[in-house]
Amino acid sequence: MFSKKIITIILLFHCFSTALFAQSDAKAVEILSKVSENYKSLNGFTGLFEYSYSTEDEGLIQTNTGNVTVKGNKYRLTLDDQEIFNNGKTVWTLIKSTKYKEVTINNVEDDVDELTPSNVYNIYKKGYTSQLIGSSEINGTPAHEILLTSDKANARFKRIKLYIDKAKNEILAWEIKDDVGGTFKYTFKELNPNVKIVDDYFVFKVSENQDVEVIDLR
């Protein structure tokens, strides 16, 4: 159940607004603009990250690691038992277990509220309020803390907090609270910027995976 919820979070990172008429903090927008320009200037990047889920009642429930590769609006995300391929037009969600393998194929939908590995650095431009709320350290690196909130009162998640490297204008981590009091946190452990990646890397090749059941929902 946890892994399926994580996939949902990775694909659909929504925010809940606590102040419908709030205006973005000029300093926060300035920082996020630098982050956006930084990532848009790259040919692509890869990263190893840690993700966890915790609640106030139970504390830390689970921690795991994953890998992500991003090039423009394309990404490939690898978790413990699932992998997502997105080439900007089609998304393949591969589920791997000891008993079976299946891939679900969908068209990519243009959802302005969706937060994905390929748009996390510019989601602030799409109707979100941005506030610089403080500073902290992520693995010893000084970071800005920026809170994003949406103007949709019925959004699934209450907030997104971004941790931005003060020196490099890179996203170090992000944190999301859901509507049942749980917190998802994603922290980059390694980040390799400006790597060259062929477009085929973001395509799941059905013909080369005959042992995988295909569920085509396009």
Q: Sorting pLDDT into bands at 50, 70 and 90, what band is 87?
A: very high
Model confidence pLDDT, tens digit, residues 37-75? 888 888 889 999 998 989 888 888 889 999 999 998 899
H helices within the chain, ranges in order? 2-11, 26-40
Task: Give the pLDDT confidence score for residue 6 in this predicted structure.
Answer: 47
The helix (run of H) or strand (run of E) holding residue 70 is: strand 59-71
Q: Which amino acid is at 35?
A: V
Q: Give the residue among 137, 189, 140, 184 at the shortest CA–CA distance from 163.
A: 137
> In the prediction, which pLDDT does 41 show?
87
The better pLDDT of the pair 216, 5 is held by: 216
Q: Structural domains in the chain?
A: 13-72+112-197 (2.50.20.10)
Which run of H or E residues covers position 48?
strand 45-55
- pTM across the whole model: 0.78
- According to the model, what pLDDT value does residue 69 have? 94
